Structure 1
């Protein structure tokens, strides 16, 4: 048992049970050899060993066990064979198989013994070995999920459809594969969405949540959950998924966008263009779509329904009704995605989500009517309402709409300026931003500002949608996917203090003494204004106050961002320097220096000091 448990593996991503489908597990892990007096030898790893190891994991068998395994165990104890990465690899592999009930302990131990015998070439240096590891990684075969597998049982469709709850285990299919996702759902933020495919194929959903398609990490996790094959006769009867028109009607977008996801479309403008104007042009306003755009065929028939607790008679209002019956208001309000600057948090530690940089934020004038006026028109009784839910016309494969909610006190308070808007920067609101009607909730995270809104529901409880319950929540930095419980966290509403440098960009070169012009934005949620923006050119040792460009808005109702600018000389000393910005809001909130204390597994509301590295030469 020494080789098996002496090979110590600390896996950063999968906790105590490593994912062993190739070398990526070992490169991201701490590998060492255990056992008194043995230590970590310098070694060389043979590529075929890992090809065989992957095969063993994929098949879930003990195929690598040599026939004379008992003799090898005896020899091992007498010879004290040095441990190396090969031993650690197969040792942890054997442990993983044992923990997954795919191999008896004898096979697992023997895998470790064989690994120790393959540790050779002590003259190789550790750095040379790591180069070889990289070479092997590049040659890893592409994972192709859903292909028929002879080593697994076959299931009929009539049996698969029975597996839709924990009691019977939750199964889904993908092409020819059958997967048991019961245990996986508990730690997955989209678990309730996966449940919609219980007993069925996940393929139709992947055409909407396209981030999964082609993702080798997703595929490898899937194949770990593989339990069987769909009977070929049932595959013949299955109709192909028609997804040709899901995204076909979507508009052309600005060519300058950095696209983070094509389907659904999610993109941000270049930082320089973002701050070029105080009001972000409609064509450059960042786009965050969770689902395919809805088809709005006839705006004259469009209605928004208002119903729920506290309303005796539900009402429906056409767009023309909103424009004619209610006082029109215009506000300037910034919208920021909860994932803005996720790429910076990812540099500290891996997170899940789209790789937004600094431009998942934009500022616009919004014209429409106050939600408080509409609720008063509907004779809604606030004392009976806990939350106000918004549903959009964008739906997933099974017709479920995007939905989010805000607290009733926010919705009913006219001073919170919650709006049903139909114009953006004086123009008809573009389809990407909610045409014909969207909700603007100033000072609140973008996820609650529902686009294409056609239902407003007053409720005692908050929205039970996936996006309210299992997403857009933040946790402490010790919470990861193995121990997260989304039910114990509050949905993000107001956004914290944020700022970023948009000019210059990373890598710019200056001459000693040359003027460096720094520009950027700052914004704080909840109506808090920006009091000050400080900038450093020496990594935070000394600070300079930037000039602010902001509009006059009432105190605690400052919904618009602040643009800032400062001109400073480049230092005389040559070399790389770090430019930093940090803001202070009117409540004297300050930004954290780094991501260490605010890291969260979804990479949300990252607002640590932003820095840009430039060179003086």
Structure 2
């Protein structure tokens, strides 16, 4: 059996060949669900069909490659939500086709067919217009069921309704389910999660804790730390774990076991990790965006321990002034159907700076990192968006180039409010690294009835800023932002700017006007470089709903 490093190197040719396919078919799935209104509906719907059907046509090849190389399998029993049961159902009066019949239609000349449940679909007209048609043709003649088993977000009435318009027949009874027969559910071995976590998606699992629990402690308990997964959670044997390192300039390679990593001096850092989409649900109220509808709790603060990345790289001869590299790439062990791993990268300056505190973490709050958070090793990049804090770390590449992973190149980027999915050019925007200043009111909650005592009410929340900037003040208002006062107390760890990686918990008592029974509370934070949150979401709206950091506003009712 090939060592893991050799096997991964062997597959890198396949990796490169599938990157475009992976970006278009699996990474860019948010492109396929758009909002329409008024006179734009017909034009945008045509574009939407174009993207959706192209995606469906291309998934067969990805699934085959995934099964061949990744030793993971797809769902044997696909659960059909009640609201989507009618799609792909048997229809009287339609011709019957076998999987062999479907497989014969793999070129434009023969028409492009795919199957789903009991249905057979001809999607030729849309494939012929898609710019990635050469890649999509590789997947013609396959079933979409394995793909939707992995990316359940696609299995919704909006996509399925469009798909159903291209139905041409029924799948032969003996072939129904054959594409997923005797295969395991990729999500069957997910870790157990705390019952209080509120999911925004279940496959892959993404969830946040209740706001009222979030600010009970300066350090977020492991079980209540928000979960952001892009793919199924890998189940890794720590005793067999290996981390590969590659310096592209010298072609020097090295492999570290968990024991090897633990031989380096143990470095501990308190660092907040926040999803780039935190508070997206508020931006959606301005205009719809595509992405998980996170509330205000896609953020957590933990004590992380592990080996400093700069120490590990120094052992490979990679030091400041001794390398021409610009980036350090990270690859996870979690992979998509084309065997593409989750990935991201950071600038070399951050990685090599001993004061940057980037660590290969194997402990979270004094315990081995839980599976949902990257067991046995993840990279912690303090002050930087959660997307670059890659979990289940499998490979580190020191390179002149950024990671070519979808999540670095075609996601987690900010754009002007006029940019949409039809006009976006991802090359024109840099990948998000350090995050801007943000705050949120966690107590009381929206719509809650609050007791007024001595003419005041109590409020509590968190504030944080990326890049090691410390929160120096939080301003609060009880009249919608007309009048402000500083929060009464700020609690944080002792770290100073520019290495203040953790958040602050703030509390305040604010006066409320006499005779009022409803008020709007507001909060805005100021960091050690005097950056302050923007007033509203209209001016910072972007089609991916990232960097959502306007004033936080909560409407409450008063009880006197």
TM-score (norm 1): 0.71
CA shift for structure 1 position 243: 5.3
d(CA) in 1 for partners of 2:516, 2:268: 50
Mapped to 2, the partners of 1:358 and 1:184 lie a distance apart of: 41
| Structure with greater Cα Rg | 1
- Determine whether 1:11 maps to 2:44: no
Give the structure 1 partner of residue 160 of structure 2. Answer: 219
Question: Structure 1 residue 336 and structure 2 residue 278: aligned?
Answer: no
- Asked whether 1:161 is paired with 2:99, we answer no
Determine helix, strand or coil for the equivalent of 1:331. Answer: strand
Are 1:193 and 1:466, in contact at CA under 8 Å, matched by a contact in 2?
no
Q: For the Cα contact (< 8 Å) 1:148–1:177, is it kept in 2?
A: no
Secondary structure of residue in 2 paired with 1:211:
helix
Residue equivalent to 1:240: 180
Separation of aligned partners in 1, 2:115 and 2:167: 10
What's 1:203 paired with?
Answer: 145
CA RMSD of aligned residues (A): 3.2
Q: Counterpart in 1 of 2:258?
A: 319
Deviation at residue 552 of structure 1 after TM alignment: 2.0
- Is the 1:391–1:455 contact (alpha carbons within 8 Å) kept by the matching residues of 2? yes
- In the alignment, which of 559, 574, 588 is matched to residue 516 of structure 2? 574
Counterpart of 1:306?
A: 245
- Does the 8 Å CA contact 2:200/2:207 hold for their aligned counterparts? yes
1:524 aligns with 2:465: yes
Shift of 1:415: 1.8
Q: Is the 8 A contact 2:420 2:543 kept in 1?
A: yes
CA distance in 2, matches of 1:184, 1:286: 41
Pick one of 289, 301, 312 that aligns with 1:351: 289
Deviation of 1:142 after TM superposition, in Å, equals 6.2
Which residue of the partner structure matches residue 254 of structure 1?
194
> Do 1:510 and 1:570's aligned partners in 2 also have CA atoms closer than 8 Å?
no
Pairing of 1:408-557 with structure 2 (within 5 A): 408-510=348-450, 513-546=454-487, 547-557=489-499
Deviates more, 1:388-397 or 1:559-568: 388-397
Residues 235 and 498 (structure 1), Cα distance of their counterparts in 2 relative to 1, 3 Å cut? same
Are the counterparts in 2 of residues 329 and 369 from structure 1 also a CA contact under 8 Å? Answer: yes
Query: Whole-Å Cα distance in 1 between the matches of residues 134 and 279 of structure 2?
Result: 27
Task: Find the counterpart in structure 1 of residue 220 from structure 2.
Answer: 280
Asked if the contact 1:474–1:492 (Cα under 8 Å) also holds between the matched residues in 2, the reply is: yes
Higher relative contact order at CA 8 Å, sep ≥6: structure 1 or structure 2? 2
Deviations 1:306-347 (A, max 9, x none): 0141344200011111111x1110000000001111111111
Cα distance in 1, alignment partners of residues 334 and 134 from structure 2: 18
Is the CA contact 1:365–1:426 (under 8 Å) kept in the aligned structure 2? Answer: yes
| Selected match of 2:540 from 579, 592, 598 | 598
SS in structure 1 at match of 2:312:
helix
Cα distance in 2 for partners of 1:518, 1:590 equals 20
Determine if contact 1:204/1:241 at 8 Å carries over to the other structure.
Answer: no
2:61 matched to which residue of 1?
Answer: none
Matched residue SS, 1:239: helix
> Aligned equivalents of 1:185 and 1:334: distance in 2?
41
In the alignment, structure 1 segments of 5+ residues that lack a partner are 1-9, 21-56, 58-140
Contact 1:351 1:601 in 2 (8 A): yes
Kindly state the Cα deviation for residue 481 of structure 1 after the two structures are TM-superposed. 2.1
Give the conservation status (yes or no) of the 8 Å contact 1:334–1:442.
Answer: yes
1:414 deviation in Å? 2.0
Structure 2 CA distance, aligned partners of 1:194 and 1:323?
45
Rounded Cα–Cα distance in structure 2 between residues aligned with 1:486 and 1:549 = 39
Deviation at 1:465, TM superposition (A): 1.6
Deviations 1:183-220 (A, max 9, x none): 89779xxx99989855533321211112222x112222
Q: Give the Å deviation of 1:275.
A: 0.7
Contact residue 336 and residue 445 of structure 1 kept, 8 A = yes
TM-score of the superposition, structure 2-length normalised? 0.78
Secondary structure at the counterpart of residue 305 of structure 1: strand
- TM-superposed CA distance for 1:349, in Å, is 1.1
Q: Counterpart in 1 of 2:503?
A: 561
Kept in 2, the 8 Å contact 1:411–1:418? The answer is yes
Which residue of 384, 397, 418 maps to 2:337? 397
Number of residues paired by the alignment?
Answer: 480
* Residue in 2 that maps onto 1:371: 309
Compare 455-464 and 491-500 and name the one that shifted more.
455-464
